[in-house]
Amino acid sequence: MIGTINAVLGGIAAISLLVAGVTIVNTMTISVMERTREIGVLKAIGATNHDVLFLFISEAVVTGLIGGGLGAVIGYGLSAAIGGYIGLPPQITPDLAVTVTGFAVITCVLSGVYPAWRASNLNPVEALRDE
């Protein structure tokens, strides 16, 4: 019985992670499209492809840290509330909070690679012409 519950919860977590990844790719791609002119200016004043790539990957890391941290806090709160209702204490350790945040960061970085690569390869002349 417990094995089945764990399998179902694992499946739900995997689907949630996939949906989060697709959402992050979409959000960052839109961010690149909206910031095309800004990227063009950065490249025109000397930013390299690596600089632009690093900028967007850094943005993904910060997004993952904030999202993972908030997710860990909200998860703990919900676990404590539900555990109090059914008489079980939350079984959350600091290691689990770090792992959850780590997964969030990894998901954000992996999902942000394509939009960051796309941003770093923009032609500055075309980017500045775009409006």
3 assigned to some structural domain: no
- Any domain includes 1: no
Section 102-114 average pLDDT: 93
Provide the residue range defining the domain that includes 84: 15-129
Give the total number of structural domains in the chain.
1
Whether 8 is covered by a domain: the verdict is no
Q: Are 33 and 114 in contact (CB under 8 A)?
A: no
Average pLDDT, the chain: 89
On whether residue 9 sits in a domain, the answer given is: no
Q: pLDDT tens digits for 77-106?
A: 998 898 888 888 888 888 988 998 999 999
User: Is residue 64 a part of any domain in this protein?
Assistant: yes
- Whether 25 and 117 have beta carbons less than 8 Å apart is answered as no
The model's pTM is 0.83
Chain segment 13-50, per-residue pLDDT in tens = 889 889 988 999 999 999 888 999 999 999 999 999 99
Q: Give the integer Cα–Cα distance in Å for 5 and 12.
A: 11
The answer as to whether 5 is a domain residue is: no
The one-letter amino acid code at 39 reads: I
Ranges of H-type helices in the chain: 2-34, 36-44, 49-86, 94-120, 124-129
